[in-house]
């Protein structure tokens, strides 16, 4: 999971997918991590608002720490899922050509929402964090269904 600073959207998606995979008995098959395209917050925990909103829905983000996306991520993971177009462009610039097929938008897996991007809630209010959770839950459920199929 990749967003800009790795403190809001990608940790939320990381926490949601990890829990949904565990609940589905897929924890051994689905390895989840998150990173940022910028190194603004490396080592920092997720934004306290992201943690609070996620916790209300049963997701624990507290153990996560921000890190920077690297070329190695494209070799280690089967999918590198970005939150928006800016993240996609930054990730694509870092991605080795042979791994380009692994780069997708998380919203490609949405089944109930038509959003193309997961909006950045960092400068917004509570509604933005809830919108992120709605989109991420939908996309992660869709991703697990696609993997199961």
Question: Going edge to edge, which strands form the sheet with 2-3?
Answer: 35-36, 2-3, 80-82, 103-105
Mean pLDDT of 22-48: 96
The domains located in the chain, with CATH, are: 2-148 (3.40.50.2300)
Known catalytic residue at 67 = no
Question: What is the model's pTM?
Answer: 0.96
Known catalytic residue at 9 = yes
Beta pairing partners, 55: none
Known catalytic residue at 89 = no
H or E, element range at 107 = none
* Residue of 9, 67, 105, 140 with catalytic role: 9
pLDDT by residue (tens digit) across 62-106? 999 999 999 999 999 999 999 999 999 999 999 999 999 999 999
* Residue of 47, 73, 120, 138 with catalytic role: 120
């Amino acid at each position: 999971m990749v967003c800009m600073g790795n403190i809001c959207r990608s940790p939320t998606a990381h926490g949601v997918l990890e829990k949904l995979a565990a609940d589905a008995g897929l924890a051994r098959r689905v390895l989840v991590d998150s990173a940022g395209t910028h190194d603004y917050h490396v080592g920092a925990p997720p934004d306290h608002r992201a943690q609070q909103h996620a916790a209300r829905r049963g997701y624990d983000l507290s153990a996560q720490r921000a890190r920077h996306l690297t070329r190695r991520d494209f070799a280690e993971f089967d999918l590198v899922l970005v939150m928006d177009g800016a993240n996609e462009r930054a990730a694509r610039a870092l991605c080795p050509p042979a791994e380009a097929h692994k780069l997708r938008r998380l919203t490609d897996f949405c089944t109930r929402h038509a959003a193309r991007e997961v909006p950045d809630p960092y400068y917004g209010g509570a509604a933005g964090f809830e919108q992120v959770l709605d989109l991420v839950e939908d996309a992660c459920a869709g991703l697990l269904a696609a993997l199961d199929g």
